[in-house]
Amino acid sequence: MQKQYNKKQTELNMKVGQRFPLTIKRLGIDGEGVGYFKRQVVFVRGALPGEEIVCEVTKVHRKFAEGQIRKIRKPSEDRTKAPCVYYDRCGGCQLQHLTYEGQLKEKKDIVRQAFERYTKLNLDKLSFGDTVGMEDPWRYRNKSQMQVGNADASLITGLFQTDSHHLIDIEKCIVQHPKTDEVTRTVKTILEELNIPAYNERKRKGVVRTIVTRVGFETGEVQLVLVTATRDLPKADLIVERVNQRLPFIKSIVQNVNSRKTSVIFGDETRVLDGKEKIRETLGELNFNLSAQAFFQLNPVQTRKLYDLAKAAAELTGTERVVDAYCGVGTIGLWMADKAKELRGMDITQASIDDARINAEQLGYDNAEFETGKAEDVLPRWAKEGWKPDVLLVDPPRSGLDESLLNTIGRVKPKRLVYVSCNPSTLAKNTNELVNSGYKLESLQPVDMFPQTAQVECVARFTLK
């Protein structure tokens, strides 16, 4: 009865436009400040833990409210000036106004919050490390995906404003590798010169949707992908000619066709316009071939740290059978192959599996094989054939492990499970399900793969009881 009364009271007293003092207690999973007014949660973009602000309500939901800062009465000691000129409009970064030391501290707290909310585990009784950060948390992204649009009869390229379809024209992004900025600016100019129209999503007319650039940090090789709404790319030969003249370092020029009404970047059809189909990248002592749609970690500097932590968590002795689910082009599995008796991986994307096989062959790992399919389908078949993994490595999307794979893990029962997570909430929820299947969480290690954003990766180690 009391709970119902509080809900009713909150709904009556919270109104859009209302202002009140608010103390920010923590950061939310999307980087917003979290405070409480009359027991109702209020999310405030740009507010930091420890700050005392005047908040103005912008939206009221059934269980929470959203607000904006009208005045900062007491700023956080970790508040700093965001160096990006687009920061107040672009939705790419959320934490540039927080010192990097503060970001690392709060990201560990985001992981802690998720486990406190979704589990009953005491994190003080297991190994829970401080967030592993970067020495230089800028210019770390090896891939950009800039949307193409029109403004005042000119082409613009950039990212959408937070919670909108308004495209922000971005000349320079300070978390991207400088080459990606250079490629995007130059290609935009070429498209304008040749009168190649941007795709208009509302009118369903035009050609170019997205300019995608990937850079090999170590090799220097660059790939340009033009994502188009039409199979026909007008003046394709001239585009290629001018790109080669002005950007001679580009090794691969590719067109991808996506005619669907979707926010997904890539379509199903890809063709090489000039140069190589794939570019090379080096990670530690390993070389990888990357096609246009192949998944590869966006921060190669932190990827080495992440993979080393996952490898340490696997505790390989050379006798283990290892499975890399969600294997992509095989990067994390191949990182461990030298310490495994046998490595097997699977992925639903055929292009990724093709790349993984080539990468394994070129690296000389004859103990590795890869197969197209879902882990929940492939693992039971292998088990029926008498092959079971000792160590299972999972690196799922933000949605986490689905129920069918969790059930499969419960049946196959590998001795150790290394879970590389990009979403603390789904990791915590999956932890409950893994514990119910007989596993014990032994360690958590947050890793900052995306400085200046609210995202945090985490390496979790589970052992079978």
The conformation of residue 93, written as its DSSP 8-state character, comes to -
The residue to which tokens 């109104």 are assigned: 15
The CA distance from 313 to 401, in Å, is 19
Q: Residue 372's closest CA among 329, 436, 434?
A: 329
3 state SS for 39-84: CEEEEECCCCCCCEEEEEEEEECCCEEEEEEEEEEECCCCECCCCC
Q: Residue 249's closest CA among 223, 218, 276?
A: 223
Three-state DSSP state, 185: helix
Sheet of 222-228, strand order: 167-169, 154-160, 143-151, 208-215, 222-228, 250-257, 269-275
Q: Residue 212's closest CA among 155, 159, 151?
A: 159
Q: Which residues contact 262 (CB under 8 A, 6 or more apart)?
A: none
The residue to which tokens 């059930």 are assigned: 407
Pairing of strands 391-394, 321-325: parallel
Which positions are annotated as active-site residues?
422
Q: Report the first-to-last Cα separation within the chain, whole angstroms.
A: 42
The CA distance from 20 to 30, in Å, is 23
State the number of CA atoms in the 13 A half-sphere of 15 facing the CB: 4
Do you know the residue count of the chain? Answer: 465
The CA distance from 80 to 85, in Å, is 14
The CA distance from 269 to 266, in Å, is 9
